[in-house]
C-alpha cells in the first residue's frame, strides 16, 4: 500500500570509490571488508566498487595476483554514477521507488498503481532510460490482451521488467543475466518485493535459456546476442516478444530478419530518433 505522505530515509549509497582493473577477478570472491559493494565484469576488465577509499585493500589483493593490473581509479557520488538522483518514478501504472524512499500516493490516478521497490545498487536499470519506459508500456499491452502465465526476461539487469511482469499477474518468471553483479542485484530486488515464489533469477547466457518454455520473451540486450536469438527454435516457440535496446541501424536490420520469420509486429517505439523497441506476436 502506498503511503499518503512521502517517507524518506538516507540512501545507503553516498560516495563511490571505483578501481578499474585489467583482467578478470572472480566476481563472488570474498577478499574485501564491509566497504566493498560489488564487482562488475566487462569483457576482460574488472570494476571494483567501494563505499570508502580502499586503495590499500586493492593493492594487497593485486600483489597476490600478478595477472591483474590497476589501470585507474575514480571517486564520484552515487547520483553521478547513476546519472541523476534515485527517486520514485511513475511509468504507466508502475511506481518504481528505492527502498529508502516511499512515494506519495498519486491521488490523480484512477487506476491502482503497481509498486515496485528497486534498489539498483551500482547496476544500471532504474527505469529512467527510454527503452525501459517502452518495455514497461509493451508489458502492459501484452497483459491487457490476455493472461500471460510465464515470462522469460533475458538481460534482466536490476530485475525491473521481471518484477513488473509479476506485478501485472504473471506467476512464473525466469530472469537471466550474464553479469554476476546484475544477477545478484536482481535477486535482492526480488526479495525486497517478496516475489521469490514468482521470479527466479539465474546467472547465465541468454542463448542457453532461450529454449525455456514461456508465453512471452523480453530481450533488452546486446544486439549481437539478439540477432541470433530470433533465429532460434526457442524464440519461435513463444507467443509474444518484446525486443529493445536497439539503435536505428540495428532496428532496421532486425526488421529485415523478423520479416523472414512467422511474426507480426504489433507496435514499434522510436525515441529521439535513436532507441527502438518492438512488441510482436509469433504466429
Report the alpha-carbon distance of residue 249 to residue 107 in Å, rounded.
42
- What pairs with residue 120 in β-bridges? none
pLDDT of residue 42: 86
Neighbours of 84 (CB within 10 A): 10
Dump pLDDT digits (tens) for 140-152: 999 999 999 999 9
Asked if 164 and 116 count as a contact pair (C-beta separation under 8 A), the reply is yes
176 touches 206 (CB < 8 A): yes
Q: What is the pLDDT of residues 87-135, one digit of tens each?
A: 899 999 999 999 998 777 664 554 689 999 999 999 988 888 899 999 9
Distances (CA, A) of 249 to 44, 134, 255, 273: 27, 18, 10, 11
d(CA 123, CA 142): 27
Using an 8 Å Cβ cutoff, are 39 and 57 in contact?
Answer: no
Helix (H, G, I), strand (E, B) or coil at 27: coil
Q: Rounded mean pLDDT of 159-183?
A: 97
pLDDT in tens, 231-275: 999 999 999 999 999 999 999 999 999 999 999 999 999 998 899
- What domains sit in the chain, N to C, each tagged with a CATH number? 15-82 (3.30.70), 124-282 (3.40.50.150)
pTM: 0.91
- Average per-residue pLDDT in the chain? 92
Strand 94-97 versus strand 89-91 pairing type: antiparallel
Give the helix/strand (H/E) hosting 115: strand 114-117
Q: DSSP states of 40-66 as a string?
A: EEETTEEEEEESS--HHHHHHHHHT-T
Amino acid at each position: 500500500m502506498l503511503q499518503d505522505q512521502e517517507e524518506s530515509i538516507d540512501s545507503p549509497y553516498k560516495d563511490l570509490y571505483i578501481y578499474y582493473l585489467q583482467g578478470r577477478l572472480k566476481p563472488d570472491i570474498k577478499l574485501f571488508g564491509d566497504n566493498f559493494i560489488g564487482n562488475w565484469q566487462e569483457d576482460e576488465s574488472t570494476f571494483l566498487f567501494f563505499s570508502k577509499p580502499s586503495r590499500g585493500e586493492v593493492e594487497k589483493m593485486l600483489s597476490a595476483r600478478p595477472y591483474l593490473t590497476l589501470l585507474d581509479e575514480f571517486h564520484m557520488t552515487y547520483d553521478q554514477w547513476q546519472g541523476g538522483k534515485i527517486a520514485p518514478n511513475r511509468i504507466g501504472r508502475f511506481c518504481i521507488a528505492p527502498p529508502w524512499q516511499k512515494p506519495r500516493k498519486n491521488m490523480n490516478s484512477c487506476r491502482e498503481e503497481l509498486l515496485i521497490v528497486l534498489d539498483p545498487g551500482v547496476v544500471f536499470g532504474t527505469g529512467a532510460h527510454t527503452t525501459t519506459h517502452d518495455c514497461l508500456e509493451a508489458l502492459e499491452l501484452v497483459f491487457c490482451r490476455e493472461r500471460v502465465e510465464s515470462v522469460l526476461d533475458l538481460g534482466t539487469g536490476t530485475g525491473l521488467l521481471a518484477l513488473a511482469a509479476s506485478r501485472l499477474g504473471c506467476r512464473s518468471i525466469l530472469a537471466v543475466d550474464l553479469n554476476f553483479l546484475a544477477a545478484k542485484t536482481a535477486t535482492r530486488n526480488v526479495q525486497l518485493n517478496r516475489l521469490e515464489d514468482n521470479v527466479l533469477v539465474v546467472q547465465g547466457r541468454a542463448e542457453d535459456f532461450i529454449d525455456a518454455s514461456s508465453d512471452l520473451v523480453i530481450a533488452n540486450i546486446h544486439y549481437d546476442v539478439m540477432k541470433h536469438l530470433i533465429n532460434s527454435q526457442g524464440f519461435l516457440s513463444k507467443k509474444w516478444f518484446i525486443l529493445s535496446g536497439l539503435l536505428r541501424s540495428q532496428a532496421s536490420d532486425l526488421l529485415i530478419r523478423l520479416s523472414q520469420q512467422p511474426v507480426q509486429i504489433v507496435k514499434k517505439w522510436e525515441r529521439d530518433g535513436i532507441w527502438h523497441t518492438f512488441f510482436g506476436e509469433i504466429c
